[in-house]
Amino acid sequence: MNWINDTVFYNIYPLGFSGAPKINDGVQSYRLDKIYDWIEHFKELSVNAIVFNPVFESSKHGYDTIDYYKIDRRLGDNESFKKICDTLHENGIKVLLDGVFNHVGRDFFAFKDIQQNGRNSKYCDWFYNINFDRNSPKGDNFSYEGWAGHYDLVKLNLQNDVVVSHLLEAAEFWIDEFDIDGLRLDAADCVDLEFFKKLRHTCKSKKEDFWLYGEITSGDYNRWANDSTLDSVTNYETYKALFSCHNDCNYFEFAHSMERQCGPYGIYKNLYLYNFVDNHDVNRLASNLKDKKLLKNTYTLMFTMPGAPSIYYGSEFGIEGKRTHHSDYELRPCINLGEIPNPDYSLLNHIKRLSKLKHSLDALKFGKYKNENIQLDHLCYSMKCDNQNVYVLLNQSDSPKTIGFDSEFHGILTDVLNDNKKYGCDGYVNIEVGAKSSMILVSNNGDFEIPFDEKDQIIEEPVTIREQPQELLEEEITVGRYRHFKGNEYEVLGFAKHSETQEKMVIYTAINAENEVWVRPYDMFKEIIERDSKKIRRVTRID
């Protein structure tokens, strides 16, 4: 699998990214075509593979599939998505889709047939634990197994050969129709391993270098990733270590996790794992980190550790987002280039630099990991392959630290992350690392440098300056529809007065939400705020 070692992923949750309604309204729209506006951004990030979370027809969030053979009409259609895939391929970007094979939605044709025909339906054995002697929590005159207790997600029976054929034929269709290059397998720990063996054979018969990785949150990764089933899994173990080692000022957590995974006796040293710092199911990194000045160090770790790094859309700008007990939507916003709230351009350019280094340094693609110097607030590890040694140094303290390590090298070390600065060494070397910063040193006698383009400079100020409007006045709020500056859409239902303060309040609901009604102070609802050095309305009328 040659291409995966030279891959930087970009992960998009399409329904959120494109601002689609939370509930499928049945209206054909081509919202995902906005991806064309992002292609140059992908290329500047040196991204060469995109993982799309669910794109197929669903009732709500994409994981409640209606039709595996049809692009969700809120995003586009099969023809428009084929053009997207073709364009990405033309720009050197591979395409991976989210394979949701563990469960479907209640609007899936086979489940609806059971609702209509009961015991006489030919699809009764398509799902787990159909029982006509009791009712479901959704009011059906039969019960069934919902995934993880969610009865909007009906668990498929992967022991049924007809079900398996339906799913495998869908995967073949995606390869034939869209020329996809791989699959993320949702809820992989719940899927029958025999199904994965069949899926592997099907996909790799079509494309020998097709890449399959599963969503695994715990357990022994080797159970799912091996020569018979999947190629890799999501590395949730180091996902947690990447931010908590900074929150707790304890690089031992990360270093010991890496030693366990890919050290000389590592249990996963033969796997090339899918690494990430956030995704559509977990808090954004900028919300997880206590000190946002350590965002760069966290990304340095992810891009230089063994495995494939993945950027979750928008997090390269340092945007925040937290999940709640009731919703994941804050993790999945609609964002547009040029309209990012409070963009961190310094972080963006740091990630651009790291991505170039990932592609340029063989040691980061194929090297073996080794801890060289571990302390609570600073760390040095090496990545070594036959033709190259790289040393990664990190300091998370508030002051500079001198980090010593044995380079086993006599000559010049080049810090390719920071202006190609040179350091002479004679075996063991001590190098000062600035406060809350990182270095990537290549032992090469100064012969190897990464070009430091002006657009890659690690700058603290935004790279673009927008003209301010002469004046932006508050507008009166009336009954009707409004769009929040973060992309969500709401309907104002009416107004009320606070019983104690007499303050005017707005009564409103999220468009397409179910039984969710809120109140907010009227003055806050209509206020002018500042985002990205630009004054904007908190909400804007859309009807």
Show me where the domains of the chain are located: 1-101+161-217, 103-157, 367-456, 480-541
User: What pLDDT was estimated at residue 445?
Assistant: 63
Is CATH 2.30.30.320 the right assignment for the domain spanning 480-541? yes
* pLDDT tens track for 158-173: 999 999 999 999 999 9
Taking residues 73-102, what's their average pLDDT?
Answer: 98
* pLDDT tens track for 499-527: 877 788 888 888 765 567 888 888 888 88
The architecture (CATH level 2) of 1-101+161-217 comes to Alpha-Beta Barrel (3.20)
Residue 368, H or E segment: strand 368-374
What is the token pair recorded at 225? 């990733």
* pLDDT tens track for 9-23: 999 999 999 999 999
Give CATH for domain 367-456. Answer: 2.60.40.1180
* pLDDT tens track for 363-372: 999 999 999 9
pLDDT at 350 over 60: yes
Q: What gap in Å lies between CA 191 and CA 185, rounded to an integer?
A: 9
User: What pLDDT was estimated at residue 538?
Assistant: 81
b/e burial code for range 12-44 (CB count within 10 A of at least 16 → b): bbbbbbbbbbbebeeeebbbbebbeebbeebee
pLDDT at 485 over 90: no
- Reported as a pLDDT band with limits 50, 70 and 90, residue 489 is confident
pLDDT at 463 over 70: no
User: What pLDDT was estimated at residue 543?
Assistant: 63
Residue (of 222, 232, 181, 187) closest to 203 by Cα position: 181
User: What pLDDT was estimated at residue 531?
Assistant: 61
Listed ranges 7-11, 425-429, 478-482, 496-500; the one with the highest mean pLDDT: 7-11
- Reported as a pLDDT band with limits 50, 70 and 90, residue 446 is low
Q: Return the higher-pLDDT residue of 357 and 504.
A: 357
Q: Across the chain, what does the average pLDDT equal?
A: 91
pLDDT at 455 over 70: no
User: Which residues are registered as beta bridge partners of 438?
Assistant: 394
* pLDDT tens track for 391-420: 999 999 999 999 999 998 888 999 999 999
pTM over 0.75: yes
- Reported as a pLDDT band with limits 50, 70 and 90, residue 236 is very high
Kindly tell me the burial class for residue 234, based on how many C-beta atoms sit within 10 Å of its own C-beta (0-12, 13-18, 19 or more).
Answer: buried
- Reported as a pLDDT band with limits 50, 70 and 90, residue 242 is very high
121-135, 192-206, 253-267, 494-508, range with the lowest pLDDT? 494-508
pLDDT at 99 over 60: yes
Neighbouring residues of 410: CB distance < 8 A, sequence distance ≥ 6:
425, 426, 427
The architecture (CATH level 2) of 103-157 comes to Alpha-Beta Complex (3.90)
User: What pLDDT was estimated at residue 185?
Assistant: 98
User: What pLDDT was estimated at residue 486?
Assistant: 67
Q: Is the dihedral of CA 99, 101, 102, 106 positive or negative?
A: positive
First to last CA, the chain: 51
